[in-house]
Amino acid sequence: MAAAGHTIQMVRRTTTSLSLRLVLACYLTAMLAVAGPAPAAAPSAVQTPDPAATTVPLPPPAASVLVDADTGAVIAGTNERTPLLVASTTKIITALVVRDQLADDAVVPVSPLAAGMPARKLTLLAGERWRAIDLLHAMLLCSCNDAAVALAEAAGGSIDGFGKLLDAKAAELGMVDGPVLADPSGLDDESSIGGGNLVSARDLAIATRAFLGDPVLAGIVLMSEYRFLGGDGEPHRVVNHNRLLETYTGAIGVKTGYTERSGASLVAAARRDGRTMIAVVLRSPSTYVQAGELLDRGFATPRHQQEGLPPLTPAAAVGGGGDRSVRSGALANRPGDPSEPGGSTPTGPGSNGDGDGDGVHPATVIVGGLAVSAFAVGLRRHQVVRRRRRRAAAARAHRRRAPPRPVAAGRRPSSASAPRSVHWPHAGADQSTSGTGPTG
């Protein structure tokens, strides 16, 4: 029994120690994950700064352009006349053609080709019939490829027919950098039509200027989400994947894009103080950052300093200021308005490859560390008190179970050594009766 009790005590001590170590290890792991690598030691006063220690800037996008949408002036550009793969930003041009060819309430049949498009998609099924305006929202907000192909076939009679409409629209708008337009979705892999579209950043800006001139299209890309009853008889909700609406003050759109071949692209537009700027970045390492920097530069350039800047090819003019969150007559909701159903802000990642994470404030780490430390100390004290109580209880139980000590003949045990539960016999033949033994 004594050995078993000792073993139990050792197990409890080991478990307590492991619990404390586990708590401390979890806290230290969280601290390291948040804090990152330890900073280098600060240089002494006599040391000169290391030039290599300065922050490394982001590499530039493969192509970019900044345009004042109101005046048409090209404020800045890098490789903006070179046609490149542009992924889903193609859907800006697709939307312009669809608006020319289909009424909002037109019924669009779904073909097997449209139903077989890869994600992102609405999961349309062949034979279903959907409203054009609903598919247009799905194509522009969540970049649904099956919606784009269904709209293209309805607008052009076939995919080949739609390709001819794309070419005609590009010529009409003045896109003269040799655009190659065949796929209404902008895919460029084995599931694409024609192997992928090639469009310059400047031509995309021209198309975007015309896009923003259409109140319905401009209103769609400003929405945070859109709810509707689909051609399958089920309610649907599509969410805007463009996080620029959340991260840049005055942002009004327009379209994200990403494939493995094209990289991440963004066509961005913003309005401040009655001025509208368009920024296009293709194959960018950080689309929202670099597009935001271009927009900042545009708003910092006064109109009187635009004299002598090259003009963008004339296109549909952008209307005067005001809110462009125009209703299309469907079940649309104002972006971010909690008073209306479905007025939540966009959730989930965008359709391009940027991954933005929320940091943890240092104060949160400190408070969390103090809380964990206080918990560990309290737990340790509680365990120590319990251990002491268990030891005392075990000692008392042991004394109760122990046999009485042998007493020499004629000697009375002291009251301190005689358990209360033991009754001593009266003096017998082997004990003295002189008063030294028990008297009964």
CA 200 – CA 63 distance, rounded (Å): 8
DSSP 339-405: TSTT-PPP-S--SSS--------HHHHHHHHHHHHHHHHHHHHHHHHHHHHHHHHHHHHHHHHSPPP
How far apart, in Å, do the first and last CA atoms of the chain sit?
A: 36
Active site residue 91: yes
Q: Among the options 64, 111, 143, 200, which is catalytic?
A: 143
Q: Among the options 91, 121, 169, 255, which is catalytic?
A: 91
Report the candidate in 134, 143, 100, 104 with the shortest Cα–Cα distance to residue 255: 143
Report the candidate in 63, 79, 316 with the shortest Cα–Cα distance to residue 174: 316
Which structure tokens are listed for 4?
């078993």
In sequence order, what are the beta bridge partners of 68?
A: 277
Contact 231, 306 (CB under 8 A): no
Ramachandran assignment for 435, one of left (phi > 0), alpha (psi -120 to 50 degrees), beta (any other): left
Contact 128, 154 (CB under 8 A): no
Phi and psi (nearest 5°) for 369?
-65, -40
Active site residue 262: no
Contact 300, 272 (CB under 8 A): no
What angle is formed at CA 77 by the lines to CA 74 and CA 81, rounded to 5 degrees? 95
CA 330 – CA 340 distance, rounded (Å): 14
Q: Among the options 88, 111, 328, 351, which is catalytic?
A: 88
Residue the block writes with tokens 């408070």: 367
CA 201 – CA 203 distance, rounded (Å): 6
Within 13 A of 123's CA, how many CA atoms are on the CB side? 5
H or E stretch covering 146: helix 145-156
| Catalytic residue numbers, as ranges | 88, 91, 143
